[in-house]
Amino acid sequence: MTDTFFDSIPIFNSGNYWVEVHDAVCSIKSDTITITNSLPPLNLPLDTILCLADTLILGVPPTASYSYLWNIGDTNSYAEIYSSIQDTILLTLQVSDSGFCSTTDSTIVVFDLCAGIDEEVLSSEVIVFPTLFQNSISILNQGARSISFFIIDGMGRVVNQGLLDKAAEISTSDFAPGVYVMLLQNIKGESKAIKVVKQ
């Protein structure tokens, strides 16, 4: 339901829509239509950790009638990701059809030094919750060492950062809705990236 009073409206979401028309003598007619987004789910892979200088190619099978847009600027159905430095990259793919329907998915790619066992230790020591958040997000450090945290938005900007000994609750009330990356790093340079979403 859009609660509008125009003879036509733009439709952006799937669902049931109805219209009611009144004429000058108070005759009323109505009709209902169901709009379905025919685009399939994208199902990009879960977050991926690669060694430095490795290359990752990810995407979806191409369809001639669809257009593709990655947040890194590529317009193909597949994107090739590479980094020679330690980095955390948030990738978002939007697929649109000729009827202006679109669907979006995202994933995180972390390029690291392939610390192996050390990275598993960091993963088990630090808990971030909830990953689907509204006004705050908490970090629990169960390890003996302090860690640094960085919250990165979809444009790659650091919107919050700090040093954590044991636990912290971070206010996110001023964050815009969307996907963020929580990047955690200890003094040995071991890192962990977690995708979190502001509702």
Tokens of residue 190, six digits: 């071991």
Q: Which fold has domain 48-112?
A: Immunoglobulin-like (2.60.40)
Which residues have CB under 8 Å from 47's CB, separation 6+?
A: 107, 108, 109, 110, 193, 194, 195
Structure confidence at residue 169 (pLDDT):
92
Half-sphere exposure of 13 (CA within 13 A, CB side): 5
Burial class (CB in 10 A: 0-12, 13-18, 19+), 31: exposed
Kindly report whether the global pTM for this prediction surpasses the value 0.85: no
Give yes or no on whether 48-112 and 117-198 have one common fold.
Answer: yes
Structure confidence at residue 13 (pLDDT):
64
Burial class (CB in 10 A: 0-12, 13-18, 19+), 75: exposed
Structure confidence at residue 123 (pLDDT):
60
Structure confidence at residue 162 (pLDDT):
87
Structure confidence at residue 58 (pLDDT):
80
Structure confidence at residue 135 (pLDDT):
92
Structure confidence at residue 10 (pLDDT):
67
Tokens of residue 158, six digits: 């650091």
Tokens of residue 139, six digits: 């970090």
**Does the domain spanning 117-198 belong to CATH 2.60.40.3080?**
yes
Residue 120's H or E segment, with its range, is helix 117-125
Please tell me the distance from the alpha carbon of residue 8 to that of residue 122, in angstroms, as a whole number. Answer: 55
Residue 164: which of 133, 198, 140, 135 has the closest Cα?
A: 140
Structure confidence at residue 185 (pLDDT):
78
pLDDT tens string 160-193: 988 888 888 999 999 988 888 888 877 666 677 7
Residues of the chain with pLDDT under 50: 115-121
Extents of the domains making up the chain: 48-112, 117-198
